[in-house]
């Protein structure tokens, strides 16, 4: 199995006629994703290859069953796109766009939550269940079907970790980039809960970074509610004091969010933390015995 998406997931692309939307829509189709439509206001009735384009998400929902939407629009339009998908009742909304103001995301988060829907992102690479479905920008060629779940705040680190897992013989059930902003739609804890419930995920990799307190919250969840082995990695451990990091969420405040605090929390929960991404398969082997 997998979490959130599978081979039956029907996907729409908001911003499908733009440069990024069209490129990644074609890539997702090539990787086996069932894209049933796209949305660009004012371009309804057109097509991208064989994919019909609609003016609104609601129009698309009337014509096709939709399980998920992925958003490729400029930052100034992204909040409106999230809310449009939520208003139409799309169960899973993935926002790839970066640069959304924090104050907008606070409002967006509650807007989606009140409707009982799920948001992943913004500023994320999306997710993939290898061999079944890809939503976003992850390179499918480095992934392999299997039973290891992966959750990450960083897109490129996800790729490096997945490459090392695949070349070491560990396939993945689902890989999820939750995004690197201070306010995101789904947390480590949200995803850990889903992986814990998935019978075909037998272990999980958590890829965190300095800043924020999400990793500490994840460690508490793992300690008290996870039965499956978990391996961690924290990026930014060698960042000089005062160095500004790339992700908006990589902010250390009041002594919280430091690498040492996160590693200590993981270790207290029985989670070994790799010093380098290529050490993760070795730690996973020790945790799982396979």
> Are 216 and 240 spatial neighbours (Cβ–Cβ below 8 Å)?
no
Q: List the catalytic residue out of 24, 143, 224, 247.
A: 247
Cα–Cα distance measured from residue 211 to residue 191, given in angstroms and rounded to the nearest whole number: 19
Q: Give Cα 38 distance to the centre of its chain.
A: 21
Indicate the SS3 state at residue 96.
coil
- 279 forms beta bridges with none
Q: Which positions ≥6 away from 55 have C-beta within 8 Å?
A: 39, 40, 41, 42, 43, 44
In the residue annotation, 143 being an active-site residue is answered as no
- Burial label for 42, CB within 10 Å (0-12, 13-18, 19+), is exposed
Q: Which residues are catalytic?
A: 247
């Amino acid at each position: 199995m997998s979490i959130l998406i599978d081979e039956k997931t029907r996907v729409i692309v908001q911003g499908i006629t733009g440069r990024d939307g069209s490129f990644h829509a074609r890539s997702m189709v090539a990787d086996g994703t069932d894209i049933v439509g796209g949305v660009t206001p004012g371009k309804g009735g057109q097509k991208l290859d064989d994919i019909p384009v609609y003016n609104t998400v609601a129009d698309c929902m009337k014509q096709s069953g939709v399980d998920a939407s992925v958003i490729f629009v400029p930052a100034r339009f992204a909040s409106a796109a999230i809310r449009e998908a939520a208003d139409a009742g799309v169960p899973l909304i993935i926002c790839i766009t970066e640069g959304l103001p924090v104050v907008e995301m606070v409002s967006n988060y509650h807007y989606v939550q009140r409707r009982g829907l799920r948001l992943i992102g913004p500023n994320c690479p999306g997710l993939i269940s290898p061999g079944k479905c890809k939503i976003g920008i992850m390179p499918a060629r480095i992934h392999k079907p299997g039973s290891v779940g992966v959750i990450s705040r960083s897109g490129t680190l996800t790729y490096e970790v997945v490459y090392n897992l695949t070349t070491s013989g560990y396939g993945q059930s689902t890989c999820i980039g939750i995004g690197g902003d201070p306010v995101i739609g789904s947390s480590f804890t949200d995803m850990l809960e889903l992986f814990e419930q998935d019978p075909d995920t037998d272990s999980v990799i958590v890829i965190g970074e300095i800043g924020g307190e999400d990793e500490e919250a994840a460690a508490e969840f793992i300690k008290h509610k996870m039965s499956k082995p978990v391996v961690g990695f924290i990026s930014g451990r060698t960042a000089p004091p005062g160095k500004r990091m790339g992700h908006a969420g990589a902010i250390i405040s009041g002594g919280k969010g430091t690498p040492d605090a996160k590693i200590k929390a993981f270790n207290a929960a029985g989670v070994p933390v790799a010093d380098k991404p290529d050490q993760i398969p070795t730690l996973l082997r020790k945790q799982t015995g396979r």
